[in-house]
Amino acid sequence: MEKITGKTKSGFEFSVPDGLSNDFRFVKAYRNYKSKDPEKQVDGICDMISAVFSDETEEERFYQHIARTYGDESGRVPADKVIFEINEITDIIHDDVKN
């Protein structure tokens, strides 16, 4: 299976299956994330992350990167930075699909 690879501005390197943006689970998650309903937004972002990082190890690597790059000494993962980074990743995925 082909992969789309990329790197966020903060340096996180990722590789996702080609065709992810056409996966209905991802489309549904994205739609919920863009909802005006705050509960759907939270569910949507969580589901998007699960769709992008189908492997738990990759998802944890993503969180570790966020904690190291944006977090404090506690090791917490700032939610706003997770959203920022996942938006950047989905933009990269969509740009790759267009080209």
Return the higher-pLDDT residue of 30 and 99. 30
**Dist CA 93 CA 30 (whole Å):** 13
* Residue span of the structural domain in which 20 resides: 3-98
Query: Do the beta carbons of residue 14 and residue 6 sit within 8 Å?
Result: yes
pLDDT for the residue numbered 65: 96
Please tell me the pTM assigned to this model. 0.85
- Strands (E) across the chain are located at 3-7, 13-17
- Burial bucket for residue 3 (CB in 10 Å: 0-12, 13-18, 19+): exposed
Q: What is the pLDDT of residues 52-87, one digit of tens each?
A: 998 899 999 999 999 999 988 888 999 999 999 999
Output the CA angle 95-35-14, nearest 5 degrees: 35
**What is the average pLDDT across 28-53?**
93
Number of domains forming the structure of the chain: 1
**What is the average pLDDT across 91-97?**
72
